[in-house]
Amino acid sequence: MADGVNALVVEGRRGADPTGPRTARRLRGRAPVAAVAAVFALVQLVFVHPAMGLGWDEIVYVSQVTTHHPAAFFSAPRSRGVPLLVAPVASWSASTELLRVYLALLSGLGLYLALRAWRGLFPDRVLATAGAFFATLWVTLFYGPQAMPNYWVAIGALITVGCAVRALGDRRAGRRTARGVLCAAAAGALLMALMRPTDAVWVCAPLLLLVLVRRHWPLLLAVAGGLAAGGGEWVIEAYAWYGGLGERLHRASEIQGGLGWNIAVGDQMRSLGGRGLCRPCTGAMPHPVVTLWWLLLPAVAALGAVVAVRARRATATLLPLACAVTAAVPYLFLIGYAAPRFLQPAYALLALPVADALWHLVRTGRDRWRPVAATLVALAVAGHLAVQFSVLVGTVNRNVDSREAWARVADELHRLGVRPPCLLTEHDSIPVGYYTGCSSGNTGGSNENTTPAEIEDTARRIPVAALTGPGGTPPAYARHWAPHPFAGLEIRVAPPG
């Protein structure tokens, strides 16, 4: 009897053994990626001050869902994804610190999920390295905790392309694609289109072409459906407010300086020194050390493609590489200014072949050369990190100063009697208006949303002030208003109605 019981126990253990090791292996495989995502979230909170005030674009997005500030003018290129993203916090709290912490944690979770989409397509060490490369770029760390769309386009791109590669591999192996993979591909496409519909189309162009060639109709339906669902609201707004999709695209092009053939590679290089917006993009190039990684990036990614082709896993590398190229095209060749955040989707997709190439350099070749290669790669990574964090610290400090300057102007306006409900017009009226608690209005430029007659009528009912920048000329409707010089600006306050 005892022997029989012992035999059953042993047999039961044998039956349970395969599950235990598999679960342990899965957990060990997830650990490096999870660690990268967790450190990414933590480093954001350490280096990007949670108390840093909202920037110009953040104000436009956040003000759409707040109850404590008037909504700023929402121009044609913008979409509603970021307001939806921040609504769980911004709709009830005015705390910038809370919003920053929420976005930092959410961005860490997003990075983890995006890298998980590639599990099994690359070794775990490659995925962790790719995540670390993308997460330690100063532009990723700086914008991760901010209410901006580009990081989330990058996350959606990683999810969509990773799931598409998985689905295409299933079709090639004769397996039926799991419903979860298709749903994740659709969710990634939806996320991209919610944030920036036009960017989503550029990212997905090579993917959709490949899906058509392979005739994987479920995947085509998933990706196209996600794009349509995410961009549907933007299209509806186009017909409701702009007279059609073509008109909105035309207006968006005007605001961005007119899209057309324009080589902006040099502009993007100038912005690598920490310039959030390079428009007009003049001045000297940053130190060569700052731009070296950017110049080497295509070469290392190309090496990753060669490695993948030789290893007979070309699709998993060539597809993200192609999507990275199309994601970068409009911001390198079709626009007349630069912002480093525009290329975040391309950086995220390039991170995979780059990480694969780095591991190839370290692990292959003759034994006597491996320590040399490993040492050179380690030195390059250390130098890269030093450059990225140096630029990050300088960028954060400059932005903290500029946002504190807006707050000081707001304090002066309060001293002059301009308090909510109120209206600010012209120079920096959107950011200063937010810090003051006022509505904002402009009679010209890309944020034109009012007329002089409407401003004069408003001045009869609530406090109104016009801001003129250094060297500027006050608007005609405000020239008889009392001037108040302050911090390089001229504040003209309308007389009480």
- CB-CB contact of 467 with 432 (8 Å): yes
C-alpha 357/C-alpha 344 separation (Å) is: 20
Is the model more confident about 496 or about 429? 429
Could you tell me if 122 and 41 lie in one domain? yes
In a domain, 366, yes or no: yes
Beta-bridge mates of residue 334: 262
Beta-bridge mates of residue 490: 468, 485
Beta-bridge mates of residue 483: 492
Tell me what pLDDT residue 3 has: 43
In a domain, 240, yes or no: yes
- Does position 8 have pLDDT exceeding 50, yes or no? no
Beta-bridge mates of residue 468: 490
Tell me what pLDDT residue 217 has: 96
Tell me what pLDDT residue 282 has: 85
Number of H helices, E strands in the chain: 19, 5
Could you tell me if 333 and 276 lie in one domain? yes
Q: Is 286 helix (H, G, I), strand (E, B) or coil?
A: coil
Count up the domains in the chain and report the number. 2
**The domain containing residue 117 runs over which residues?**
11-399
In a domain, 405, yes or no: no
Say how many C-beta atoms besides its own lie within 10 A of residue 37's C-beta: 25
In a domain, 454, yes or no: yes
Q: Render pLDDT for 354-407 as a digit per residue (tens, 0 to 9).
A: 999 999 988 876 666 778 888 888 999 999 999 999 999 999 999 999 999 999
For residue 421, is the peptide bond before it cis, meaning its omega torsion is within 30 degrees of 0?
A: yes
Please give the torsion angle defined by the CA atoms of residues 388, 394, 399 and 400, in that order, rounded to the nearest 10 degrees. Answer: 120
Please give the average per-residue pLDDT across 133-155, as a whole number: 98
Q: Render pLDDT for 54-64 as a digit per residue (tens, 0 to 9).
A: 999 999 999 99
- Does position 497 have pLDDT exceeding 90, yes or no? no
In a domain, 446, yes or no: yes
Could you tell me if 98 and 234 lie in one domain? yes
Could you tell me if 123 and 46 lie in one domain? yes
Could you tell me if 377 and 430 lie in one domain? no
Could you tell me if 395 and 343 lie in one domain? yes
In a domain, 409, yes or no: no
Could you tell me if 330 and 379 lie in one domain? yes
The CA–CA distances, whole Å, from 362 to 113, 357, 375, 439, 467 equal: 27, 9, 9, 57, 58
Q: Render pLDDT for 77-121 as a digit per residue (tens, 0 to 9).
A: 999 999 999 999 999 999 999 999 999 999 999 999 999 999 999
Could you tell me if 49 and 81 lie in one domain? yes
Could you tell me if 367 and 433 lie in one domain? no
Could you tell me if 218 and 94 lie in one domain? yes
- Does position 36 have pLDDT exceeding 90, yes or no? yes
Is the model more confident about 2 or about 184? 184
Could you tell me if 428 and 363 lie in one domain? no
Mean pLDDT of the chain: 92
Annotate 61-79 with DSSP letters as a single string: HHTTT-SSSPPPP--TT--
Tell me what pLDDT residue 249 has: 94
In a domain, 443, yes or no: yes
Tell me what pLDDT residue 14 has: 41
- CB-CB contact of 44 with 104 (8 Å): yes
The CA–CA distances, whole Å, from 443 to 72, 440, 453, 483 equal: 14, 10, 10, 19
In a domain, 406, yes or no: no
Tell me what pLDDT residue 451 has: 96
Of 147-161, 228-242, 270-284, 333-347, minimum mean pLDDT range: 270-284
Q: Which of these three, 367, 399, 431, is where a domain ends?
A: 399
Q: Render pLDDT for 62-73 as a digit per residue (tens, 0 to 9).
A: 999 999 999 999
Could you tell me if 334 and 472 lie in one domain? no
Tell me what pLDDT residue 418 has: 97
Q: Which of these three, 344, 369, 399, is where a domain ends?
A: 399
